[in-house]
Chain A
Amino acid sequence: MSKIMKPIRQTGIIGYGAYIPKYRLPASEISNLWRDGQDENFLPIKQKSVPGPDEDTITMSIEAAQNALKRAGTDPQEIRAVWVGSESHPYAVKPSGTVVSQILGIVPDTVSGDFEFACKAGTEAMQAATAFVGSGMGDYALAIGMDTAQGKPGDALEYTAAAGGAAFIMGPAEEAVAVLEGSYSYVTDTPDFFRRAHQKYPEHGNRFTGDLAYFHHIYNAVTTLMEELNLKPSDFAQAVFHQPNVKFPRKKAKDLNFTDLQIKEGLLVDFIGNTYAGASVLGFTAALDKAEPGDRLLLASFGSGAGSDAFSFIVTDRIKKVRSKAPDTQYYVRREEKIDYARYARWRKKIVMH
């Protein structure tokens, strides 16, 4: 049995767009408040992005999708599917996708819904959008990975839980900036991280987080993808892994025999934090921003629960024509205004009054 997933109709990314809110909370702010600065030499990242008080997964999805539309040049009315992957949908019941579709002018001839698979909800939406276009059900589909991640005050996750993400318009290969060579998904039931219904903050299954979850699933997804496509790490110009902190993707790259240079463009976590469903896809937009025609790019997400989606894309000549039509991802990384913990606590509703 062939494990590789490849649609009957050749499919690729027609347009891509990033969005990161402008506010940043330095990790030292969290360290000073909760640990008296004692862990200042071991901080997982330098700072994380924080959404403004009027931003959420829906508003940020719209910004990223608008950038994707600018690059795609597609009439929004031709998009036949809108899927938003996130673990911070503003509503428990009412799709983020319908608001996004209405505002972008995609309604009413579309399917729309929300995906949830922790940090890989965005790539899950990409898989579905690829299948939708690849089967001929529609010519264009919009897949978004976006989050305003929640971290419990004082918890280790608070250092990194950040906001941002990316949008991709999948379409026929002839119009693509990057054509899908193949993808593979690896999923098991693993209790590494979860948030129960009606709970505000997630919990982590401690020892399950590293080896049994992140490293195991990405390793299997990427090695199977490479075996099935008969590829080796040196065939890829850049590789982007899910990035919950700086250490994990670096270690994963080393385990899989990718060099530091191969993960350089997409490794954003030190400057913006872990944007959960947005993390790997946002890194992938940064890699696309620097890619040359003919480059092969690897994208490997990880979602707790747990699973990993691995994709191999070949960049086309069209990338040079469309890249400058929207702000590049590094622009959003550099656009920053630092805030203190007090403002962060107020904006993120950490202070609860009964």
Chain B
Amino acid sequence: MDIPRYWRLRNQRYRLEGTECTECGEKSFPPRCVCAKCKSDSLQPFRFSGKGTIYSFSTIYQALDTFDKDIPYSIALVKLEEGPLITTQLADISPDEIKIKLPVEMVIRKIYEDGEHGPIQYGYKFRPVLNK
């Protein structure tokens, strides 16, 4: 049952909230208790812009039971504008369209449904930037 975990992490998953070190300005995602750069414990919440580029990617054909009905789906390491590298699923893109350095943006999507009776978990994924 993932209800407590998702509830605890909801601002991270829903709003891409990490931390910013008040001493050296280093930004982290996921949030940290101690700055990885200067070891300060003076950190404050920081909301990332949700913009970035694809650093690396892979497409999943053999998935965990939770995601078995979603295959094939793609995951990526996304380099956020503010620096951190995060792991994420990709949305609205087929595997043959994914390229290194492709600009992407955060969207909220369903991550998974916990069976027929459990909660629906939402969180960030990244898609190609809308070319408006």
Contact = CB atoms under 8 A, between A and B. Distances in A.
A156 to B, nearest CB: 29
B132 A54 contact: no
B46 interface: no
B70 A59 contact: no
Contact of B122 (A52, A99, A331, A335): A99
Contacts of A58: 108, 120, 122
Interface string A84-113: 000000110000000100110100000000
B38 to A, nearest CB: 29
B10 A59 contact: no
B125 A103 contact: no
Interface string B4-37: 0000001000110000000000000000000000
Contacts, number: 43
A53 interface: yes
Interface in A46-63: 52-56, 58-59, 62-63
A22 interface: yes
Contact of A103 (B89, B92, B122): B122
Nearest to A22: B92
A53 B111 CA distance: 10
Interface residues of A, number: 20
B130 A327 contact: yes
B15 A105 contact: yes
A55 B109 contact: yes
B104 interface: no
Given A58-B122, A59-B122, A103 B15 contact: yes
A54 B110 contact: yes
Contacts of B108: 58-59, 62-63, 103
B78 interface: no
Contacts of A335: 130
Contacts of A59: 107-110, 122
Interface in A301-352: 327-328, 331, 335
A268 to B, nearest CB: 17
B91 A52 contact: yes
B15 A56 contact: no
A90 B89 CA distance: 21
Contacts of B92: 22, 52
Given A99-B122, A103-B122, A53 B15 contact: no
A331 to B, nearest CB: 5
A102 B10 contact: yes
Most buried by B among A55, A99, A103, A327: A103
Contacts of A103: 14-15, 108, 122
Interface of B: 10, 14-15, 70, 89, 91-92, 107-111, 120, 122, 125, 130, 132
